[in-house]
Structure formats: structure tokens, C-alpha cells
Amino acid sequence: MKVSPVVLNAHYKLLVVGGGASGCAISHHFAKCLPKNQVAVLDPSTKHYYQPGFTLVGGGLMNFNSLVRQERDMIHPNSTWINEGVQQFRPELSKILTTSGEEITYDYLVIATGLQLRYDMVKGLPEALDTPGVCSIYHPKYAQKTFKELERFQSGNAIFTFPNTPIKCAGAPQKICYIAEDYFTKHGKREGATVMYNTTLGRIFGVEKYAKALTKIVETRNIQLNTRHNLVEVKPQEREAVFQLLDSEGKPTDNYKTYEYSLLHVGPPCSPIAPLREAVSTGLTDANGWVNVDPLSLQSVKYDNVFGIGDCLNTPNAKTAAAISSQFKALRKNLHSVMDGKGVVAQYDGYASCPLVVDSRHAILAEFNSAGPLETLPVDQAKPMVISYFMKRYLMPFLYWNFLVKGLWNGPATIRKILHLGMSK
């Protein structure tokens, strides 16, 4: 691998912007197919995190250090790693501008920038995160702080929030809620605790089958479910969280409700990165800054030599690591075909998965697309199972490090067909 901190008027056959799970998968695959150093990965980070493990770190169920690798070790040796960020997309010129002001041109571009955690969209939250009681498993620093807050908690309101924006791993805010409630119970703190899950949604989960199972868990364990509650301000000195109430369609109202908290876990608002939000006028992104692609082919609706993958897209699927594997399967086929002068040939099936950990030994393995459940195992995966937890804790990190980021994992579709005797999609 060639590490390039400064690039002068460089040109690449394939430029991948973003070195997370999706960017690594694509770049690894094409680095083995294209001539050496014809693939470049642009990413400013020096560390690569297994982010699905942050929830377990926050619950004291996983060691943080096991989730971290050096970014240089994640890039294929035939690729060039440009350790910078993107300042501006110029898709009409097949060009990007780096944060240091250098220009890079490309024949083909894959945008894999993920999304940006927007703690700044909640008044007082950035400052509150460094005060007692406030935490968030979405950030490396605050994921580690979360378990410390569970240990310190003695009594009072423990509030867990879900934002009024798209969010990566939409199940994570309630996973940490269940893990925390289980921890309080096992450590004699539950009687003095009021555990709340405040969500902007109209129900606890988007897929009906899993929503029913999760609602039963919430009721059985006396967790207060407050729907249509949007966190808009945190007052750390008063230890208060202010929520704007939304109407039945999820639109803001003039009504607010304030809760005192002993523990406040925040699922942060999220958005595309700033250069994508600023690229709306080019047609590269939609009005909200999400990369505007065909939801099946993952090809830009305006630029034939541009594709997108992962959380930065405006596709309707849930933003999870599992979705990336199935997107990768379609994108690599389509990009190969377009490079060969042909049209797109494959479609993304909308698959996503969310292993909903409900205590320290059980999980609901939610697998679905827009049509509903799309389960791999020939059992009812809406039931909390030990095997689902152990898959989340042990199997999925193994698949991530050894297969997904190396461009070797296409999702569970083939396994699903085998286990369902060919009668599943």
C-alpha cells in the first residue's frame, strides 16, 4: 500500500472516498482486479473502528481495544491511501478537491463517506457530553463513558433517545436501553430507576413483526416508551432534557416536555458530511445532501461513472453494516459492467439486519427489507435467543474483520436459500 499525504494532480481509474467498512470492501475487491495503484482510497482517519461493537462496549460486554485497527492496515497493498478528507465534489469534471487543496481526477468514483454524527443539532449537547450522566455509544470516547455511567448510576430517570433524522444502526439506542435495564436489575439498582425510551417514531421499530416482540419486552420489563419525543436541548447544570413533541405524522408541534435525568443516553441526529450537503446544486446529492442513487443499481442518477454505498445514500434501507454486504454484491457487479462499457446488471435487494440485544445473553436477530422480514435462519428470529446474541458478539466481528472489509462477504442470501431449501429470496 502506498500512503500519500499530499497528492499533486493525481489521477486514478477508481477513487473511493471513505475508508470505512464499505469503502474498504470496494477498494479491496478492485485493487485485486485493476493495475497496481490505479485504486485510491481517500480518508482522513488513522484508526478504523468496528462500530457495531460500540453498543456492547457501552454495556460492559466487549473490550473497546478489540474494536480498533490502524487504518493503514485496512487498505489493500495495491491501493494508494490518501490520508486526507474531501473538501469539494466536482462530479461534472470527474474531480474532487482534498482538504489540503489538491485536485484528484478519476475515471470512476465510489462515494462511501458514511454519515456525520450531529451532536451539534441538539442545543447544549456537545458540552453536556463531557458532564456527569450524559453519554452516547455512537462515539468512541462516549461509548467507553457509557459503561462508566451505568456503573455510577444509582437511581432516578435513565433516559434513552432516538433522533428525528436518519441514523446509523437505528436499533442501537434501544439496545443500550435494554442492556442498561438488565445491568441495573442485576446490580440491585432497578427498583429506584425509571427507565425511559424516548423516540421520535410512532412505534418502537419499523418492521411490525419485530415491533410486536420489542413492545412485549418493554411492557414486561416496565420500560416507559414515549413516542414522538424529539430531544432538542440538554441542560447539564439542571440535569434536564427538553423534548419537542411531534404530531402523529412526525412533524414538530409547539409543545415541549422536560425531564430530569440521572442518566441520559443520546442517539445523535445524523447527516451526510458537509461536502455532500454542499453538492446539492451539482445533482450528486438530493435536497438533504444524501448521495442520489438508483436504489437498485446504486449508480448515481446523474453521473454514470459515480456510484455510492453505505450510510451516505438516499436509499430507503436501514443504515447498517449488514446492508453494506448486500449493497457490495450489487455494486461490484455493476461497476465491473460499467467499466466494460456495458450497463448495470445487478440489483440491491434492500436487505438490512439489526441484532437487537435485549440483555447480556439474548438478542432478536431482525433481518428485513422494505417488504418485511427476510430471515436467514429457519426459526422465528423475533424470539430473543442465546444463539442470536453469540452471533452478534462473536460471529459478526469475525465476519467483519476477515471478510466484509476485505471485499469477501456478499451477505447471507446464499446461506438463506440453503437453509430454507431454496424457498427463500
Catalytic residues: 169, 354
List b or e across 305-316, with b for residues whose CB sees 16 or more CB atoms inside 10 angstroms. bbbbbbbbbbbe
Q: Which residues contact 230 (CB under 8 A, 6 or more apart)?
A: 163, 164, 200, 243, 244, 245, 246, 252
Compute CA 418 distance to the chain's CA centroid, rounded to the nearest angstrom.
28
CA distance 356 to 134: 22
Please name the amino acid found at residue 126: P
- Tally Cβ neighbours within 10 Å of residue 350: 19
Which among 403, 404, 424 is positioned nearest to 415, based on CA atoms?
A: 424
Amino acid code (one letter) for 360: S
Contact indicator for 100, 84 with CB cutoff of 8 Å: yes
> What does the alpha-carbon distance between residue 157 and residue 155 come to, in Å, rounded to a whole number?
7
**The three cell numbers locating residue 389:** 446474541
Query: Are the C-beta atoms of residues 153 and 263 closer than 8 Å to each other?
Result: yes
| CB-based burial, 165-203: b 16+ in 10 Å, e otherwise | bbbbbbbbbbbbbbbbbbbbeeeebbeebbbbbbbbbee
